[in-house]
Chain A
Amino acid sequence: MEPEPSRLESSLELSLTGSTASLLLPPRSRIFKIIVIGDSNVGKTCLTYRFSSGCFPGHTEATIGVDFRERVLDIDCEKIKIQLWDTAGQERFRKSMVQHYYRNVHAVVFVYDVTNLASFLSLPSWIEECKQHSLTYDVPRILVGNKCDLRDEIQVPIDMAQKFADTQNMPLFETSAKNPNDSDHVEAIFLTLAHKLKCHKPMMLSQPPDNNKVLLQPEQRDDVTCWC
């Protein structure tokens, strides 16, 4: 029942390295806080680990509270620090922390497991929690279906997921933290998200342009990237 001390250390280490890294970064570089939300055991820790360190963690345990993983990206010659908040999925591990997750968040990633229909069906309740914390409309939210390398066990067909994502106005990505070459690359997903955050562009076409920003460059609005 006792969590391995090594797990705690590793997250602390990462956070320490992150903080030292942030000290080294010029103070003008922006920090984007992206929270990863979803049911327990869908693969949030593996996804964030994959993005932050480039490899798949062999042995993971239920995340308690939150783990922080950071990575500095270089987008258009600007150093952007992505601070990933790998949140706990189990209710008892997250109950006192929810308002801290959503405070000043820049983007929300909803994760479900394609081999577990229940994790997909509980997405509305996660989205509802997100809504209750009154995020502004320009906080991009994306939907990620993990574990798509387990092709024989898929329970959530992609059309169902796409339909749901469309009703919620979120882009859908199917990926695998274990086999990143399967479907969308984990790296690509986060990079795109970071790019959008940096340019303050909307994730989906029907999201509003920020009134005081994009209007100055009208020609950019025609540049629509296809999300399929």
Chain B
Amino acid sequence: MAAAPEELSPGGGARSAWKRHIIGALKQRDRRQKASFQDVIEAYSRLLENTGLLWQLTGKIQTELKDPHICHTSRSPRISLLVPSSPESLHAMKEQYQEQVTELQHTGGELAYKIIELNKSLVAKDGKLEEQEVRVSDLDEEVQHLEASRKCLRDLVDLQETENVELKVEYDQVLKWKHQKEEKLRVAVHKGEEILQEMVKKKVQEAVNRNRKNERVKKIRISNEIKKATEKTVNIDMEREEVMTLDLKALSLDIPEPQDSGRTLNRAFRSASATMLSSSKLVETFKEFFDFRKRRVNSMSSQSENVYPKAPLCVASSIPSKAIFVLEAHDSEVNGVKFSPSSKLVATGGADRVIKLWDVMGGRLHNIQNLEGCNSSITSVEFSPSGTQILAASSDKAAHLWSLDGNKSKDTLTGHSDKVTAAKFKSVIHQAVTGSMDRTVKEWDLHKGACLRSIRVPSFCTDVVCSDYFIISGHHDKKIRFWDSRVTRCTQEIPVQGKVTSLNINPEQTQLLSCSRDDTLKVIELRMNNVRQVFRADGFKCGGDLTRAIFSPDGNYAIAGSADGALFVWNVTTGRLERSLQGMHSACVNAVAWSLSGEYVVSIDRKRMVVLWSSF
């Protein structure tokens, strides 16, 4: 407004005086008007500025409301600028700011607390860090040490390995050497074995040759002897008889030596001697020589009465094949059974203390007679060789003798102190032998009824048989003992494998059959005193302590009863089981008897049964 006239050109002075005056007057009016409005203009401008500022403030406050975290601190310097302009808002602002200040102080306090804490933790962490560092340094040291020692050990290991390698080389060499030596040893052992085998073979051959040579020499000798013997003449002359028999016997001494060929030779020789001299005279002369004791006997009218006449020999016995008669014979178990020498009568005796006599007629058994008088059970029954007397051994410690001819007398032989298990007639008349559990074997004179001799034996006697020269007894202690007729001494003991339950002698008196509890029967050759045969059979069991087994009357077979009731028949020469008869007995067979004619066999068992067998 008032600025323009100054710039007009200064040259117009006189004309411009009034212009300058007008301009000056205008300027003064300008200044005067401006001065009155100057305050208002200044206040107006100030207001404009304030409103501008307030506008900005409100804008900022709005943004702060949306986002209170931003520019919190930056507000404070701006806020201090605005404090002097407007009081109401200033107050509010002041309050606000004071709130903010207290807030900030709070947070400052918190932060300061936090700072302290953080400082503490920082210190602690620093401490830990130091510790860790110390530890780390220690471990580092250790690691170094260990590394050093590891190195040392590794060196050692290497050293050992080299040594090992050397040793292994040595070992391999030694091993190889050992293998070689072992191989050599094996070869040498093998060779040694071979040589040994060869040597043994040679030795065997040599032994065989020697044995053969010995046999040859013996055969030559024996054939020479035989030639000599056959060339000798024998006189059948009464005076020279004894001498001749002696000579014959002297020559026959050497004969039994060869086991294989000798037996037939023996038989031939015997029959030759038997035919050359009459048999009864021979028997008599032998008896005269060997039986010294007979001379002491008072009653001796003639020589021929001293022995029983020889029983008829059985020509051939037939093995029974079937039972033809069965009978319940007694009231209790039957222990002994025998045929009479005439084959007509059978005597059975048992635990019912009676001996029953049966007649065998038409294939049946008829009870003829009963013999009583025993006080206890009967263990064995025996006929005299003449058939007129029966001798029974009994458990009442005595043996009983019945006479079957006219006078029907009865004798009792007492003297034993325990049960008598067997009683047999001797081949000399009027004499008998008994065996008992009191460990004695007694010889009796039947005329007087007195004991002639008592032999002490070491064990229970279960059976007794007599041959011409011996008494043979079987015992509990598994032995068979031979007693010589003249001397009270056991001349021979044959052991067997089980308790001896029975003995039986064959009619020719050459063999002895023994039955023992080990379920075997043994045939013993009496001259050689050796066991010739052993009989066994499947199913044959010796059932009791007094089970009796016998020879057949011709001596070819042996028969025995078994515990299950079967009868077994063996062939003596071959040793085979010929037959077994079963089905008739239901209990243990105690004894068997075979008739002298060879036809019948009677067996008895524990269940009181008597069975008659025949082969027809």
Contacts and interface: CB of A to CB of B under 8 A. Distances in A.
**9 nearest interchain CB pairs?**
A65-B203, A1-B192, A208-B492, A100-B207, A137-B529, A136-B530, A103-B211, A211-B527, A213-B253
A104 B211 CA distance: 8
B218 A31 contact: yes
Given A31-B218, A211-B526, A1 B207 contact: no
B492 A212 contact: no
B200 A65 contact: yes
B89 interface: no
Contact of A96 (B200, B224, B253, B469): B200
B246 A100 contact: no
B9 interface: no
B490 A8 contact: no
Contact of B206 (A2, A30, A68, A137): A68
Contacts of A216: 246, 249-250
B199 A3 contact: yes
B214 A83 contact: yes
Contact of A212 (B189, B218, B252, B482): B252
Name which of A22, A83, A208 has the most chain B CB atoms within 10 A of its CB.
Answer: A208
Contacts of B221: 27-28, 30
B171 interface: no
B204 A100 contact: yes
B196 interface: yes
A12 B290 CA distance: 50
Contact of B482 (A31, A64, A208): A208
B2 interface: no
A216 B202 CA distance: 46
Contacts of A19: 213
Contacts of A68: 206, 210
Given A1-B189, A137-B492, A212-B527, A104 B199 contact: no
B224 A28 contact: yes
Contacts of B259: 136
B331 interface: no
B215 interface: yes
Contact of A31 (B191, B203, B217, B253): B217
A53 interface: no
A215 interface: yes
A42 interface: no
A64 B469 CA distance: 48
A209 B491 contact: yes
A100 B253 contact: no
A65 B189 contact: no
A120 interface: no
A144 to B, nearest CB: 22
B484 to A, nearest CB: 9
B153 interface: no
A212 B493 contact: no
Nearest to A28: B221
A4 to B, nearest CB: 12
Given A15-B206, A93-B200, A97-B200, A104 B215 contact: yes
B492 A8 contact: no
Given A83-B210, A100-B207, 13 more contacts: A22-B213, A28-B221, A33-B214, A65-B202, A65-B204, A92-B196, A96-B204, A138-B528, A206-B492, A212-B249, A212-B252, A212-B253, A215-B290
A208 B529 contact: yes
A212 to B, nearest CB: 6
A225 interface: no
Contacts of B290: 215
B490 A97 contact: no
A88 B417 CA distance: 54
A213 to B, nearest CB: 5
Contacts of B528: 136-138
Nearest to A33: B214
A133 B476 CA distance: 26
Contacts of B250: 216
A134 interface: yes
A138 B529 CA distance: 8
B228 to A, nearest CB: 11
B220 interface: yes
23 contacts: A1-B189, A1-B191, A1-B192, A2-B192, A2-B195, A19-B213, A28-B224, A31-B214, A65-B207, A66-B206, A66-B207, A83-B210, A96-B200, A97-B203, A100-B207, A104-B218, A136-B259, A136-B529, A208-B482, A209-B491, A211-B469, A212-B527, A215-B290
A49 interface: no
B188 interface: yes
B575 interface: no
Interface in A127-153: 134, 136-138
A189 to B, nearest CB: 22
Contacts of B482: 208
B530 A137 contact: yes
Contact of A207 (B191, B207, B492): B492
Contact of B491 (A136, A208, A213): A208
A112 interface: no
B208 interface: yes
B163 to A, nearest CB: 40
B207 A64 contact: no
Nearest to B526: A211
Contacts of B211: 100, 103-104
Contacts of B490: 206
Interface in A27-62: 27-28, 30-31, 33
B199 A8 contact: yes
B261 to A, nearest CB: 13
B507 interface: no
A101 interface: yes
Name which of A30, A136, A206 has the most chain B CB atoms within 10 A of its CB.
Answer: A136
A101 B207 contact: yes
Contacts of B493: 206
Interface string A171-197: 000000000000000000000000000
Interface string A16-31: 0001001000011011
A64 B203 contact: yes
Contacts of A210: 253
